[in-house]
Amino acid sequence: MIRLELQNIQKPNFNRIQLLILTALFAALTAAGGFIKIPLPVIPFTLQLPVVILSGLVLGSKYGALSQIIYLLLGIAGLPVFTKGGGIRYVFEPSFGYILGFVLVSWFVGLSVKFTKKTLTRAQKPCSFTTPTCAEWAEHHAPSERRLSGKNSEKSIRTLIYCFIGILLDYLIGTGWMYVILNIYLGESITIWQAIWSGMGIFIIKDLILCWLTVVLYQKIKIFNNFSPAPKPRDIQMDTSDYLIQRDAESDRENIESNKQ
């Protein structure tokens, strides 16, 4: 009974069917984002990378990476979802490494956000209970407005840092792939520094700005914050273990005092 009431306190969660639908949706959005180009005076940019980051933030590491794997396999299978078409020969394109990096970016961002949530939850101090009821458990664990604001700020900063690292990983894979393809497959002799400049250059500044805007968008849209992948029953039981232990201890103490009387 207690476990059922505590589950009602949790935020609503995506079930498996919803996650699979959203996974397919993010795969389609990744493909569409590559063709939506916003021209700027210096560097035009697409909406592909923000979609990849959002897939990790919203779906988590497992389903976020799955959405990018679906996008990758559809392109290799021959569907024209890549910016220059599709097919198995696209593997030999110098820019294919950045597409491979999408899988790692989404997985890393989703895993890092999950780690951040666990870290901030464990940082909370345990509360004392006077009456072992679920209502008081919820009341003690309801954060004040000031603490909630500080927690959200720390969460946003950590999320932004992890997204930055994810982008750097994508550039690392993409630049390395481009260097190998140009030198070995296409026979163009370039140095590693030339590959870094042509593969990263000022493009990384643009992508870091896009990353910051994506995190801000993620924090502002309530539907992304109100839903998350459904927790396992074991995790819910672990989250309430301290409460249950203290409740049993108080119950035993009351029984001992009543027996003495």
114 contacts 63 by C-beta, under 8 angstroms = no
Lowest-confidence segment of 35-49, 108-122, 234-248 by average pLDDT: 234-248
pLDDT band at 225 (very low <50, low <70, confident <90, very high): low
Taking only the tens place, the pLDDT of each residue in 108-125 is 999 988 877 666 555 554
Show Cβ contacts of residue 57 under 8 Å, excluding neighbours closer than 6 positions.
64, 109, 110, 113, 159, 214, 215, 218, 224
Q: Looking at this protein, which amino acid is placed at residue 169?
A: L
Q: What is the pLDDT of residues 140-190, one digit of tens each?
A: 555 444 444 555 677 778 888 999 999 999 999 999 999 999 998 888 888
**Per-residue pLDDT, 68:** 96
Q: According to the model, what pLDDT value does residue 222 have? A: 55
Burial of 102 per CB tally in 10 Å (0-12, 13-18, 19+): buried
Amino acid at 28: A
Mean pLDDT within 64-92: 93
Indicate whether this model's pTM tops 0.75: no
Cβ atoms of residues 164 and 180 within 8 Å? no
The CA-CA-CA angle for residues 204, 87, 180, to 5°, reads: 45
Task: Give CA–CA dist 261/252, Å, rounded.
Answer: 15
d(CA 105, CA 99): 10
7-123+145-240 is a CATH 3.40.50.300 domain: no
Candidate ranges 71-85, 122-136, 207-221; pick with highest mean pLDDT: 71-85
Residue spans per domain, the chain: 7-123+145-240
